[in-house]
Amino acid sequence: SQQGEEDPQALSIQEGENATMNCSYKTSINNLQWYRQNSGRGLVHLILIRSNEREKHSGRLRVTLDTSKKSSSLLITASRAADTASYFCAIVAAGNKLTFGGGTRVLVKP
Amino acid sequence: GAVVSQHPSWVICKSGTSVKIECRSLDFQATTMFWYRQFPKQSLMLMATSNEGSKATYEQGVEKDKFLINHASLTLSTLTVTSAHPEDSSFYICSVAGRGFEGAPQETQYFGPGTRLLVL
């Protein structure tokens, strides 16, 4: 399966702490994307990292990509209660079709 | 990013009825629209990809006669769940893709808020 696998499935941290989640996949990719989903809502695009890139930053978010290990990580620094959500990685192997991982549910406690 | 709406946001229907869900791209010419379904606490599963003016491409295991998709314009796609049954109860989400907004990668997809379907 091309589907990304995410680890951990759930994460509970205190406000101010960092949150790290990982995504592994099995095929070659064009790019990998991270999305956030608040409970019962649609998805919000966070970051896209291309296969020839190793690291990207956006505000408090840092994404790394290791194509040799077929893995990516998302780091949220100085977390806030508003960061509570599910986070999904999605790979694009060809065209623009997204294949999502299982997601990591993050709970940030105030 | 693009603003995408879905209507209705939730719907309850009786088994055997058909339900139409609309996905509108309000400020973006969506050459491609995607339909996903999501079960509780699970990931999104792509159901089909539709390009404006052409037939949708369905993923393996998705019945095209059961889930009718129409992408009649660059701003509207509809998903009709025909003869709905309780197992069709799910969260249906659309996304749009096209020429990216300034600063956004062209591959970015913009998601609607989802439609929750409950079939009794």
**Averaged pLDDT for residues A81-108:** 92
- What does the pLDDT look like over A18-68, one tens digit per residue? 999 999 999 999 999 999 999 888 899 999 999 999 999 999 999 999 999
Instruction: Evaluate if residue A1 carries a pLDDT over 50.
Output: no
Burial of B27 (0-12, 13-18, 19+ CB in 10 A): exposed
Q: Are strands A10-14 and A104-109 parallel, antiparallel or unpaired?
A: parallel
**Is residue A2 very low, low, confident or very high in pLDDT (cuts 50, 70, 90)?**
very low
Cα B3–Cα A61–Cα B47 angle in degrees, nearest 5? 45
Which tokens belong to A100?
């999502």
Stronger pLDDT, B80 or B29, i.e. the higher one: B80
Q: How far is A15 from chain B (nearest CA, A)?
A: 23
Q: How far apart are the first and last CA of chain B?
A: 36
CB contact under 8 A, A45 and B114: no
CB contact under 8 A, A45 and B32: no
